Structure 1
Amino acid sequence: MNSAHQVDELIKEYLLFRGFSNTFRVFEQECRNDKDKRFQADKIIEELYSYITSSDINGLLDYWKYLDLRYFSRLDARFFESVKKFEICLIKYYLVYATQQKRKDKIFEFFETFGSELNGISEWSKWFGLPFSKNPASDPNFETFFTKQWLDTFTVSLHNFLNTIFQNMSLPSLLCFNLDRLHRKELQDEIESLRNEIENLKTEIVNGDTEITSLKQKVAQRELAGYPRRRRSNNNMHDKNEKDSNNNDALRLSLTTSGVSLSSSLSRSTTPSVKHETGSDLNGIKSPEVYADDRSMTPISEYDIDDSHGNINPFIVNSQEMFLENNSGIIVTKLSHQGNLIASCDVDNTIRIWSYEGSSSTLKHSNSNSNILSLEWESRSDKILLYGTDERLVKVYNKETRSVIHEYKMDERFPRVNQISCSPVEPLFACSGSPKSIDDAYSSSDTGSLITFDLKTMTTQDIFMLKASSHSPSSSTMMPIETIKFNHNGQMLVTGDRSGYIRIFDIRTLKSIMEWNISSSSKNGSGVICSSQFSFDETSIYVIDETGELSQWSCSKPGFVMSQSQLQGFPPATPTIQMNITPKLSRKRTPSTSSIRSIKSTRSTSSIPAISETVPYEPISRVNMIAFSDDTEHLVCVGGNGGTQGVIYQSSNGEKVQTLASHKQHLTAVDWSENTILTAAMDGTVRVSRIANLGVIM
């Protein structure tokens, strides 16, 4: 708005140039009588105060009414109360100024004119006594309004309020043109400043060569001394460590992360943070018990040292916290891509969106005749959450408006939305559909669907139908797709189905670029794929089946297996759960009594006596039990301690490298994003573990 005066002068110049004399005179006269004061807040306040100093109450109220109609009435309703308060304060200042100037006649005139309107309003009840107060400046009812501090505060508040309105007004093209010119000049200045900064940084880089060389030498010395970076130390280093221990040379690793210092001493000296057992050697040292900086003081133990081999684990746990946002068994939990929010869905079809820093909101699935099967955050923000049901629907939920803004419908033959995956670069997501039951997959030539939807236009983009196999020796049908993952630029996606087929699709056409079946090369695998993931360099695909076989397949040679290994402890042994069988169920569940959907909520909904029965728990799928790190060098799975722990494995060889803290009940879902790992359990608990990679720190 500061350029309004410049534009006015340009218009005057143009009118004179064109010879529009009459128009020039009218325009100049209107500029002099400009009530908007060229959108300058200080000029408007000066005009308001001029009416007060001249004791013109009618002029004051008329000008305020003009501002109200011109600007204030167009504001959002939540600002109306603020506008009313400014008006009241302005009138009170009129009365205060009249009192200071000993103009009691103007005060009596004000109450005679407007007294009937103000009578009965609590805000004004005490002000009727103003003209009768002997010393209003010291009267407790009025003394605040006679101070300079009150007037200054009111003036600044009104000034900021007006400025905010002017800065957010829609501008005509003529003013925008001038603003664009000024903005371009600012950008040029900023670019020049950045160029200078780049030159300075280049100079610093050149000057830092010597320091970098020195640091590389130190790193090399540490590696030779037995400090592992991203891999566990090998057996050849064990002799050297033993020799160093016999010579009583202390080897200490000190890490400081997020203000917490962890020290692991490999000598026999006793420190308050390291516990030794009598007669323990190097392998007998127990790791310190460190507590998270939270109210629950949950212990974090056995993270930085692997007691079984004396090796340092690749990750350190900075903090861990247990949350009970859901009241029943968790189905799936997902971290937002920016890592700020968590969405967790339980057996009651209740999705809770919450932050481990405190905020929380609840999304209750409204249709009691369907179940939620899948969750996924939109990749480019933490605002949109998608969830799929077993009744054809994919719903798009906006966290800010707390409402479902759109619903997509799947093919009626494939109502179960097993998985949803969002493109990392476009407003696009893919989801897989399957029949109500596996038997339905054999009754049609189409056994499942892969569909891409456009979040911008809210329309279906492409559809790929899974057909019965025509080249399989057994002529078995293609089973529905279980896993979907995009590559880094969103141009390809990889899928895995229950019959062992891996497919790579071109997202622009949703055509299969290559496909192969892992069953023929599997050692002990079932062929039921529960995870398929592009490697970080996208030259290979990591695949995990339901027997825990981890395999790595080449992208350049379809069907060529690069490595195979077994994830020890995954899948965990099938636990048993206590079921309460009542004559009447309050909500729909899937037919299988062994699925997680059959677990009864901890919230009682009936007073009918229940019959307790112990049954084996078997999840519908294990897709949600596996999550890869962002660099795909590690993965976390449900396993360990009877399935109550998250276990971290190395992707290259399937070696177990670390375990996370246990839950009280069996884990049902995990997720991993950047430096945060989620583990969720059947009792509704979610553990948030914040980790750091030792290789990156060192």
Structure 2
Amino acid sequence: MNSVPQVDELVKEYLLFRGFSATFRSFEQECKNDKNKGFQAERIIDELYSYVANSDINGLLEYWKYLDLRYFSRLDVRFLGSVKKFETSLLRYYLVYAIQQKRRDKVLLFFDSFGTELSKNAEWSKWFGLPFSKNPATDPNYETFFTKQWLDKFTVSFHNFLNSIFQNMPHPSLLCFNIDRYHRHALQSEIDSLQGVIENLKSNIESADQEIASLRQKVQSREAGTNVRSRRRAKSLYDSKEKDVQDILRPISNGNRSSNLSPMKSTPNNKAETNSESNNGLKSPEVFSDDRSMTPISEYNSDDTQELPGEDINPFTILSQEIYLEHASGISLAKFSHDGNLIASCDVDNIVRIWNYTGASAACKIKNDPSSNILCLEWEARSDKLLLMGTDERQVRVYNRELKSVVHEFQTEERFPRVKQISYSPVESLFACSGSPKGSSDDSAIGSLMLWNLKTMSLKNSFVLDHTISKSGLPVVPIETIKFNHNGQMLVTGDRAGCIRIFDIRSLLPIMEWNLSKLGAGSSKKGSYIICSSQFSFDENSIYVVDEAGSLTQWSVHKPGHIITESQLAGFTSTFSSTLINFTPTPTKTFRKRTPSMSSVKSTKSNRSTSSVPAIMIGNETTHLMSTSRVPMVSFSGDTEHVVCVGGDGGHRGVIYQTSTGNQVQLLASHSQPLTAVDWTTTVGNTILTAASDGTVRVTKMVTTTSS
């Protein structure tokens, strides 16, 4: 980012050269009012400190909010704690500086404005006494913050933090060109220095080879002299031994040779026989290996996870897999919480459960009105406190896990009672949901997109879907999928007609749209265009789309309608049309993990509203069928490099695909019944849940495989 001022000057020079004087003046004015300060950390810190010096708390918080939306909110979740600590330290510096400048009125005004919010934070409990301390600089609670060392440490840490963000954020092509040129010059100088080092090493090797050759000649000459001396000494020793033997045998040969000779021969033979018997009596040690250690894991373990052969296959190592049976009937929805430790799951009896798969006790049961059906679930984006539930009777219920109750119910329009999807903003207390009619309507409007504010508990904005919104003549049908981008300023939607639309949150109007059917001439895309998933890529330069035909496509955000990659997800199941509501779970196997909430497994009659659902006869009992949405059956990893979908064995197992190629890279363990939902969290490592129509939920914990 050090070359940003240089690039700005080049742009100004080009604008003057082209005669764009008005653009030049506008660009120069925006450069003066640049809130990014040319991506220079020291200028940003100076701007923050200027608000502190002027005791302008509103300006300070406004500028910090801009930095949070522009940079901090798109960081990985593990850095959010650091951002919060920097914000706390900045506010404390504001108070310390005000005390040093004898502006106690500003300190009192600060606590009057923000005391209610800060009183909930234990870190601020002692700071409410700051305005009333006679000498805060010597008070043990505050003296550290009045030292120059603390301020210097905070400034350096924040400076390094900002520089790390600027160095690792995506750069535009113009800036990358200048950076690449700088890197080429640096690389060339490094190559030149390395070539000099190589030449020096070559000369050192040549001199070392010569020295080795001379040492070898010396060693050979010494060995020749040593061998001659050794042979002479060995010959003299042999002659002396031979003489000693002759001296010993001479008197024996003069006496009874045969009688004396027998003991001489028998002794060694007897000793040899004794050694032979001793050796025959000992058994050679044997190592007996465990039969299981020589057997593939799938043959002696209940886990039937399969690995795929080939390069860049099996990118994850599975640490554990546990099956949970929290529900007594088939599961329709299941999602990880924001922190990844809790799971919210809904069954076909409209019973929602929140439970902890890590062993901690956090289970709670939410019974819903039997006259309505739960169609979607969504967690609050920055905590595990709130759970949103969308129904087919105009309701979005907000459940507070701490209070264990529904704290509010949002009502949609009467003509759009079905709340099919909900997406929570990652940076604000906002959520978007889609509404659609239950059946065919005479009204030209066929759906809506609504934006709700959870702070004011009111509708912030809405957008009605009708045939007049599409400027390019694309079909308009109810929305199937909704997903925010990293900073909550845009969201992407997908529908059953294969239309992708990107909305601006501020106006809630579509800023671009295209259709899956308008692929290139060489595309292999055929069949259904019903969208199961659509979301921004990790770098937000593209959008990944999965449709019911099993096609995975990547579309450019900068060139609407331009396809980047296209692949077919082999094994992607597209035959799920219905799921039994009144389902009798199969007997639990020995490897299933039972929880305290399930004393027994039994078949229960579904409470789900089935007025518009077909029925079949099984024996003397009528069993209803419910259409299964494919939206919960697709989930991307946090870095969008992989996606897990329902597939394999007729939809009984989860399959992990690589998004860049669409290849199967890993197969998860199979369930006894078809899957109805999958989800992927990277907050607590790579953990995947797969939920099935028999009420089982399998949680698979994985780590990324490191190649040796």
Same topology, TM > 0.5: yes
Q: Tell me which amino acid in the other structure corresponds to 1:564.
A: E
Evaluate the alpha carbon distance shift between residue 315 and residue 469 of structure 1 in structure 2; reply closer, same or farther with a 3 A threshold.
farther
The corresponding residue for 1:508 is: 506
Deviation string for 1:548-601 (max 9, x for gaps)?
1111111111111112111112125348866769xx98734244546xxx899x
Deviation string for 1:438-484 (max 9, x for gaps)?
x23xx2221111111111111111111111267699x7851100101
Counterpart selection for 2:369 from 367, 370, 382: 367
8 Å contact from structure 1 (residues 580, 612) kept in 2: no
The within-5 A match list for 1:629-644 is 629-644=637-652
8 Å contact from structure 2 (residues 496, 530) kept in 1: yes
Counterpart selection for 1:687 from 674, 690, 698: 698
The corresponding residue for 1:333 is: 334
- Quick one: distance in 2 between partners of 1:576 and 1:446? 28
The corresponding residue for 1:545 is: 547
Evaluate the alpha carbon distance shift between residue 334 and residue 467 of structure 1 in structure 2; reply closer, same or farther with a 3 A threshold.
same
Evaluate the alpha carbon distance shift between residue 273 and residue 386 of structure 1 in structure 2; reply closer, same or farther with a 3 A threshold.
farther
The corresponding residue for 1:446 is: 445
8 Å contact from structure 1 (residues 525, 548) kept in 2: no
- Quick one: distance in 2 between partners of 1:548 and 1:658? 17
8 Å contact from structure 2 (residues 374, 392) kept in 1: yes
Deviation string for 1:384-425 (max 9, x for gaps)?
111111111111111011011111111111111111111111
**Does 2:144 correspond to 1:186?**
yes
- Quick one: distance in 2 between partners of 1:179 and 1:352? 51
Q: Tell me which amino acid in the other structure corresponds to 1:175.
A: F
The corresponding residue for 1:561 is: 563
- Measure how far apart 1:313 and its partner are: 0.9
The corresponding residue for 1:482 is: 480
**Does 2:387 correspond to 1:385?**
yes
Deviation string for 1:3-42 (max 9, x for gaps)?
xxxxxxxxxxxxxxxxxxxxxxxxxxxxxxxxxxxxxxxx
The corresponding residue for 2:660 is: 652
The corresponding residue for 1:664 is: 672
The corresponding residue for 2:132 is: 175
3-state secondary structure, aligned to 2:564: strand
The corresponding residue for 1:611 is: 620
- Measure how far apart 1:350 and its partner are: 0.8
8 Å contact from structure 2 (residues 330, 581) kept in 1: no
Larger Rg: 2
Evaluate the alpha carbon distance shift between residue 351 and residue 177 of structure 1 in structure 2; reply closer, same or farther with a 3 A threshold.
farther
The corresponding residue for 1:345 is: 346
Equivalenced residues, count: 430
- Quick one: distance in 2 between partners of 1:503 and 1:415? 22
- Quick one: distance in 1 between partners of 2:656 and 2:467? 37
Alignment gaps of 5+ in structure 2: 1-121, 162-286, 584-603
The corresponding residue for 1:589 is: 609
- Quick one: distance in 2 between partners of 1:200 and 1:483? 39
The corresponding residue for 2:454 is: 455
Q: Tell me which amino acid in the other structure corresponds to 1:349.
A: N
The corresponding residue for 2:355 is: 354
The corresponding residue for 1:413 is: 415
- Quick one: distance in 1 between partners of 2:350 and 2:373? 6
- Quick one: distance in 2 between partners of 1:174 and 1:579? 64
Deviation string for 1:606-648 (max 9, x for gaps)?
xxx9625799x67342000000000001000011112110100
Q: Tell me which amino acid in the other structure corresponds to 2:357.
A: Y
- Quick one: distance in 2 between partners of 1:344 and 1:580? 17
The corresponding residue for 1:221 is: none
The corresponding residue for 1:676 is: 687
Deviation string for 1:130-168 (max 9, x for gaps)?
xxxxxxxxxxxxxxxxxxxxxxxxxxxxxxxxxxx9x97
3-state secondary structure, aligned to 2:669: coil
- Quick one: distance in 2 between partners of 1:614 and 1:368? 17
Deviation string for 1:51-74 (max 9, x for gaps)?
xxxxxxxxxxxxxxxxxxxxxxxx
- Measure how far apart 1:301 and its partner are: 4.8
Alignment gaps of 5+ in structure 1: 1-164, 202-268, 277-285, 292-297, 601-608
- Quick one: distance in 1 between partners of 2:648 and 2:654? 7
Q: Tell me which amino acid in the other structure corresponds to 1:445.
A: S
The within-5 A match list for 1:17-28 is none
Evaluate the alpha carbon distance shift between residue 578 and residue 659 of structure 1 in structure 2; reply closer, same or farther with a 3 A threshold.
same
The corresponding residue for 1:92 is: none
8 Å contact from structure 1 (residues 419, 432) kept in 2: yes
- Quick one: distance in 2 between partners of 1:659 and 1:629? 15
- Quick one: distance in 2 between partners of 1:502 and 1:384? 29
8 Å contact from structure 1 (residues 492, 507) kept in 2: yes
3-state secondary structure, aligned to 1:520: coil
Counterpart selection for 2:575 from 573, 576, 594: 573
- Quick one: distance in 1 between partners of 2:420 and 2:356? 26
Q: Tell me which amino acid in the other structure corresponds to 1:557.
A: K
- Measure how far apart 1:501 and its partner are: 1.1
Normalised to the residue count of structure 1, the TM-score between the two structures is: 0.56
3-state secondary structure, aligned to 1:316: strand
Counterpart selection for 2:517 from 495, 519, 540: 519
8 Å contact from structure 1 (residues 572, 640) kept in 2: no
Q: Tell me which amino acid in the other structure corresponds to 2:330.
A: G
The corresponding residue for 2:428 is: 426
- Quick one: distance in 2 between partners of 1:469 and 1:199? 50
More helix per residue: 2
Evaluate the alpha carbon distance shift between residue 631 and residue 171 of structure 1 in structure 2; reply closer, same or farther with a 3 A threshold.
closer
8 Å contact from structure 2 (residues 434, 449) kept in 1: yes
- Quick one: distance in 1 between partners of 2:430 and 2:138? 36
8 Å contact from structure 1 (residues 650, 656) kept in 2: yes
Evaluate the alpha carbon distance shift between residue 398 and residue 200 of structure 1 in structure 2; reply closer, same or farther with a 3 A threshold.
closer
Evaluate the alpha carbon distance shift between residue 349 and residue 494 of structure 1 in structure 2; reply closer, same or farther with a 3 A threshold.
same
Deviation string for 1:159-216 (max 9, x for gaps)?
xxxxxx9x97996785378669955543355455667999999xxxxxxxxxxxxxxx
8 Å contact from structure 2 (residues 577, 627) kept in 1: no
Deviation string for 1:291-322 (max 9, x for gaps)?
9xxxxxx744545x42x548751111111111
Evaluate the alpha carbon distance shift between residue 666 and residue 177 of structure 1 in structure 2; reply closer, same or farther with a 3 A threshold.
farther
- Measure how far apart 1:340 and its partner are: 1.4
3-state secondary structure, aligned to 2:319: strand
- Quick one: distance in 2 between partners of 1:476 and 1:191? 58
- Measure how far apart 1:336 and its partner are: 0.7
The corresponding residue for 1:262 is: none
- Measure how far apart 1:528 and its partner are: 1.1
- Measure how far apart 1:360 and its partner are: 3.6
The within-5 A match list for 1:268-347 is 287-289=296-298, 299-302=302-305, 305-306=307-308, 308-309=309-310, 312-347=313-348
8 Å contact from structure 1 (residues 678, 687) kept in 2: yes
3-state secondary structure, aligned to 2:428: coil
Greater displacement, 565-574 / 341-350: 565-574
Counterpart selection for 2:399 from 387, 390, 397: 397
3-state secondary structure, aligned to 1:186: helix
Higher relative contact order structure (alpha carbons within 8 Å, sequence separation ≥ 6): 2
8 Å contact from structure 1 (residues 637, 648) kept in 2: yes
Q: Tell me which amino acid in the other structure corresponds to 1:555.
A: V
- Quick one: distance in 1 between partners of 2:581 and 2:370? 21
Q: Tell me which amino acid in the other structure corresponds to 2:489.
A: Q
- Quick one: distance in 1 between partners of 2:693 and 2:485? 32
Q: Tell me which amino acid in the other structure corresponds to 2:498.
A: G
The corresponding residue for 1:14 is: none
- Quick one: distance in 2 between partners of 1:200 and 1:548? 45
8 Å contact from structure 1 (residues 514, 558) kept in 2: yes
